[in-house]
A and B are shown apart, each in its own frame.
Chain A
Amino acid sequence: MGGQQRVYNQKIRSTETLKKMFRAMELIAASRISKARERAGQAAPYTRAITRAVSAVATHSNVEHRLTTERTDTNRVAMLVVTADRGQAGAYSATVLREAERLRDVLRADGKEVALYVAGRRGVSFYTFRNVEMVQTWTGDSDNPKVGVADDIADTLLHAFGAPPEEGGVAELHVVYTRFRSMVSQEPRVIRMLPLEVVEGVAEPGEGLLPLYEFEPGEVEVLNALLPRYIRSRIFNALLQSAASELAARQRAMRAAVDNAEDLIRMYTRLKNTARQAEITQEISEIVSGADALAAS
C-alpha cells in the first residue's frame, strides 16, 4: 500500500475516534438536559410561592426596604456573569460573555466602576486572560447547579449590596445569564436585580386579587425575611436556566461536530480511493511500458 493511502487511512481512523467522542457527548448532554428541565420544573413552586408572597406585601404596604431603595453613596456596581464550566458547547459561553462585555462597556460609559462576579470556569478564564480583576468566582457544577451554590452567590451579593462604600459596597446588581426558551433557542439575558424594581409587577396575571394578609410579626419583618429569599430564588433560577441552556447548546454543537466528522470521513475515503486508483494506474503503465521495452529489444 502506498504512502498516500496510509496517510488517508490514518486520518479516517482518527476522525472516526473523534466522531465517537462527539456522539457520546451529544448523548450525555441529551440525557442531562431532561434532568435539568425537570429540576427547573421542581423549583417552580418555590419561586411561585415567594413571588406571590412578595407581591402580597408590596401591594398592601408601602414599606421601604433597603433592597428596594437606590444607593447613591457609591458608584460601584456588581455584575454576575453565569457561564459554563466546560467548553464544547458551541457559542454558549462566548454569547454570554459578549453580552457581559457589552453591559460592562455601557456601565463604564456611565462612569460606574464594575465589580465582577463570575460563575463558571469559562468566564473565569476569559477574564483572567484579559487581566480583568474579579471579586469572586464560583466554579464547578455549572450544568447541575446546587441550591447551596446559588445561596452562596446570593448571600455574597446581598452582603456587597449592604456593605458600606469603603468596604466594596455596590449600588446595583446586574445578572447576565442565558434564558432557556426551548431546545433550539436560548438567549442571553441581562437583568438588573438590585435594587429591586417595582415589585407589584411580579404578580402573575389572572390570579385574582391578593387577599388582605395579616403579617406576623410585622410587615417590615416579613419583608426582611422575604426579599433575600426572593433574590436567592431568582439567582437559583438564573443558574438553572443557564444550565439547561448550556446542555442544549452542547447537544447541538456536538451534533454538528458528528455531522462534520462524517463529512470529513466521506471526503478522506474518496481521496483514498483516488490515491489507490492512481497507484494502480501507475503500476499498470509501468508494467506495460516495461513489457513494451522488452518486446522491442
Chain B
Amino acid sequence: MPLNVEVVAPDRVLWEGEATSVSAPAADGSMGVLAGHQPVLSVLRPGRVVVTPVQGESVELEVDGGFFSVDHDQVTIVLDASAAAALDSVG
C-alpha cells in the first residue's frame, strides 16, 4: 500500500500524491518512512527531504525547518515559510 504524502507550506500545498518511500531529516538523524511505519511526530532539521513517488522521478526538497508527521500511512511534511519561498520552482 503506498504512502499518502502531503508537503505543505503556510500559503500552499507544495506536493501531494502517493509515494513508496519518504526520507526526511528528523531531529535525531535522517529518517526513512515506508508503508506501515509507526506514528511519528518529529521536528525537521535543515536538510533534504526525498519523496519517491509511485510513478515518476523522486522529488527532492531542501528544507531548513518545520516538522513532519506519519500516521496510518499518511505523511504530512510541514515546511516553514522561508523554506517554501526558496522552492517556488517546485510544482
8 contacts between A and B (CB under 8 A): A46-B78, A49-B6, A53-B41, A210-B71, A214-B40, A216-B27, A216-B40, A225-B67
**Does any Cβ of B come within 8 Å of A56's Cβ?**
yes
Known: A216-B28, A216-B43. 9 other contacts (CB 8 A): A45-B13, A46-B78, A53-B69, A214-B40, A215-B41, A216-B41, A217-B42, A229-B80, A232-B10
Q: Which residues of B contact A212 (CB under 8 A)?
A: 39
- For the complex formed, measure the closest distance between the CB of A39 and the CB atoms of chain B, giving whole angstroms: 7
Contact residues of A between 210 and 233, Cβ < 8 Å to B? 210-217, 221-222, 225-226, 229, 232-233
Per-residue contact bits, chain B 60-86, to A (CB 8 Å; 1 contact, 0 not): 000000110101100010101100110
Question: How far in angstroms is the closest Cβ of chain A from B72?
Answer: 7
Residues of A near B43 (CB, < 8 A) are 216-217, 221-222, 225
Q: Is residue B26 contacting chain A, with contact meaning CB distance below 8 A? A: yes
A213–B69 CB distance below 8 A? yes
Give the size of the chain A interface in residues (CB under 8 angstroms): 31
Known: A43-B10, A225-B67, A236-B10. A213 touches B78 (CB 8 A): no
Interface residue B58 (Cβ < 8 Å from any Cβ of A):
no
Say whether, besides A216-B27, A221-B27, A211 and B39 are in contact (CB < 8 Å): yes
Q: Are B13 and A42 in contact (CB under 8 A)?
A: yes
Of B27, B69, B80, the contact of A49 (CB 8 Å cutoff): B69
